[in-house]
Amino acid sequence: IAGITQAPTSQILAAGRRMTLRCTQDMRHNAMYWYRQDLGLGLRLIHYSNTAGTTGKGEVPDGYSVSRANTDDFPLTLASAVPSQTSVYFCASSDPKGWENTIYFGEGSWLTVV
Amino acid sequence: GESVGLHLPTLSVQEGDNSIINCAYSNSASDYFIWYKQESGKGPQFIIDIRSNMDKRQGQRVTVLLNKTVKHLSLQIAATQPGDSAVYFCADTTDSWGKLQFGAGTQVVVTP
């Protein structure tokens, strides 16, 4: 089944460690996104990429970095994890056509920083 | 900054009844709106979308209504089923590349 694959599905990480969340999509979508979801705050955009080779900052980019070397992959890196980065992370992708821009989400990566 | 918000955090609905989930937005420049459904432990699933030049759009058992005058969006679910129990999010964007601004979500609980 086509879609978005995230890894790992869950992880407990010591504060100060580096961590990369992986995201791969097989829909050949141009745009990809990383959101974090915290209780009571909904989903907040961390970083995005409109097309391979380009990235941009979202609402909450501090402490995170991304790269987009090709169309399919969009990894999210926490350079030095802190407890406030405990969250559920969702990767998403879309292929804007005209006014329609359906964004598809992965199943999430549950990260706990201790 | 401006954001999308939801009126009620929890909505209890009897099975078979219609559900109405409301959402207010404050950014008058928003031109594209989406409703998502999120079941426990899963990622958000697209339900239906609407553009600002439309008042109403229908899908299978769902209808989205947009009132631009009062900046209000609603999702109507007909004949609510137990499988409709989930958190529903509205989101908007002014960006053609879809950097969505999400509300906090409404928990819908379907009772027998």
Three-class secondary structure of residue A61 per DSSP: coil
The pLDDT tens digits for A18-54 are 999 999 999 999 999 999 998 767 899 999 999 999 9
Query: Within an 8 Å CB–CB cutoff, is residue B40 touching chain A?
Result: no
Cα(A34)–Cα(A57) distance, rounded to whole angstroms?
A: 10
Cα(A29)–Cα(B31) distance, rounded to whole angstroms?
A: 22
Query: Within an 8 Å CB–CB cutoff, is residue B100 touching chain A?
Result: yes
Cα(B103)–Cα(B81) distance, rounded to whole angstroms?
A: 24
Give residue A14's pLDDT: 97
List residues of A whose CB lies inside 8 A of any B CB: 4, 31, 33, 35, 40-45, 48, 50, 58, 90, 94, 96, 99-108
Facing residue for A105 by CB, picked from B43, B96, B98: B43
Position B28 pLDDT exceeds 90: no
Cα(B105)–Cα(B112) distance, rounded to whole angstroms?
A: 23
Cα(A53)–Cα(A103) distance, rounded to whole angstroms?
A: 20
Asked if A40 and B104 come within 8 Å (Cβ–Cβ), the reply is yes
Q: What mean pLDDT comes out for the span B5-29?
A: 85
The pLDDT tens digits for A86-111 are 999 999 999 877 777 788 999 999 99
A53 touches A31 (CB < 8 A): no
